[in-house]
Amino acid sequence: MRSALAGCALLFTCIMANSQETPVVQRKQPPSQTVYVRCGTLIADAQKPPLNNADVIIIAGKITAVGPNLPIPAGAQIVDFSQNTVLPGLIDAHTHLWRGAFYERPPVGLTALRSQKAIQYALSRGIVAMRVLGSWDFVDVALQRAVDEGTIIGPHIIPAGHAISTIGGHGDLIDMPWQFALRDYYTPLHGFINSPAEAEEAVHFQLKYGARVIKVLVSGGVISPLDSPDAEQVSPDELKIIVEQAHMANVKVAVHAENIRSVMAAVDAGVDSIEHGSELNQQAIELMKSHHVYLDPTLFVIGNLERMAKAGKMPSFVAAKASGLATKHYTSFAMALKAGLPMAAGSDQLYEPGKATVLDEVIALVDHEMSPQMALTAATRNNADLLDLPELGTIAAGKEGDLVAVQGDPLTDIRALKNVQAVVFEGKLVPTWLGH
């Protein structure tokens, strides 16, 4: 018995001795909430001249100071962008969500996973906010909530839920014979309307399930198989009720409108932005200016659809409609630009990883004679105003700590915008693996 006790005592002594020799593992300190950013050239506000060798201090995700030779706060994380041009985080006013091959309708779970990858790709390219103008199964709302609660990493999302459309209209991508009527699908919950009463119901459903903007497809479009951009679809009475109900809830209305009749009806109803606006005249432009209605011209998507169709990646009807619309679209944009109509910047892209983003739209704006300064303003200040995101759009004290560092000077070569070196979102460096 004594020997057993002695053995236990010896074992205990050895354990204690070994434990004393084992180094104590220090708990990893959380990263500093203070970030000090050195900038080579700082475009703090696209409407103002850039600053050279300026610094930005971000504390707990908010910018507290901007200027040259700022003292470094104690314990701050230092981020060196002194060899780069630094811009405010960019905003895309018109996006959709990647879910797979064009016209594929995967299960909602797979759609959500692919869409998560899409928004993370967006953030990795410096897009810190995006307005999703129509998705399926309220996936955009789910992503917005997951980002806001910190479940996933992603940009700010302004979701529309389902775009409001007529049956057989631009929102109807199902080309099936009448034997497959899909009565449970063609409902106001899914955005399909046949009357003013159903239009009101559709708005209420989208708002109930989380929409923060209402998207209405007032005319036909290019990618829809059953209609034409020349067609009017939602009636003036339906449109007025949609706008009235959305504005009562303090929610804005974005309208897909390709032809002049649809544009005029939308502006008359009081919408907040015209998406595309492929057929404008001087009367429509002046009316939009007087009502402060933004034009989101989506220039890139027209040329991109033509290129994809020629490469055999789109149905032939898409190529025909895109080609027929292009000249008219570019002419309308030139008129609006000359008249000084307020412009947003929307890509109308799905954000498939590795593919086009609002950066391509900004480049397209410049290719069509907008100045680089105006194009950057559209993708920052103007989009922040349109999307009601007052903490975004510029780099200033009190704003959210969102920065994009690029190689080169986009004010002299707009394509430098695509040379993204790093992104800071809410005061934190975005991981380099994001979006890959």
Answer yes or no: is 434 within a domain: no
Dig out the tokens for 221 from the structure: 């479009």
pLDDT of residue 20: 45
Name the helix (H) or strand (E) containing 214: strand 213-217
pLDDT tens string 86-126: 999 999 999 999 998 877 889 999 999 999 999 999 999 99
Q: What is the pLDDT along the chain (436 residues), one digit of tens a residue?
A: 444 444 444 443 443 444 444 444 445 556 679 999 999 999 999 999 999 999 999 999 999 999 999 999 999 999 999 999 999 999 999 999 999 887 788 999 999 999 999 999 999 999 999 999 999 999 999 999 999 999 999 999 999 999 999 999 999 888 777 777 788 999 999 999 999 999 999 999 999 999 999 999 999 999 888 899 999 999 999 999 999 999 999 999 999 999 999 999 999 999 999 999 999 999 999 999 999 999 999 999 988 887 887 788 888 888 888 888 888 999 999 999 999 999 999 999 999 999 999 999 999 999 999 999 999 999 999 999 999 999 999 999 999 999 999 999 999 999 999 999 999 999 999 998 887 7
The answer to whether position 420 is within a domain reads no
Residue 235 lies in a domain: yes
Quote the DSSP letter at residue 418.
G
Instruction: Give the DSSP H or E segment for 80.
Output: strand 77-88
95 occurs within a structural domain: yes
Q: Count of domains in the chain?
A: 1
Q: Is 263 inside a domain boundary?
A: yes
Q: Which residues contact 65 (CB under 8 A, 6 or more apart)?
A: 55, 56, 57, 397
**E strand spans, 306-430:** 403-406, 420-425, 428-429
Give the model confidence (pLDDT) of 56-78 as tens digits: 999 999 999 999 999 999 999 99
At residue 176, the pLDDT reads 76
Range of the domain at 313: 90-391
292 Rama class: left (phi>0) / alpha (psi -120 to 50) / beta? left
Q: Is residue 44 part of a domain?
A: no
pLDDT score at 384: 98
Residue from 85, 127, 98 nearest 383 by CA: 127
Please give the pLDDT value at position 313: 80
Tell whether 417 is covered by a domain.
no
H or E stretch including 92?
Answer: strand 90-95
431 in a structural domain:
no
d(CA 436, CA 432): 8
Tokens of 314: 């789109």
Residues forming a β-bridge with 406: 85, 420
CATH number at residue 320: 3.20.20.140
Question: What's the distance, CA 343 to chain centroid?
Answer: 16
pLDDT at position 28, please?
A: 54
CA 25 to chain centre: 43
What pLDDT, on a 0 to 100 scale, did the predictor assign at position 13?
Answer: 43
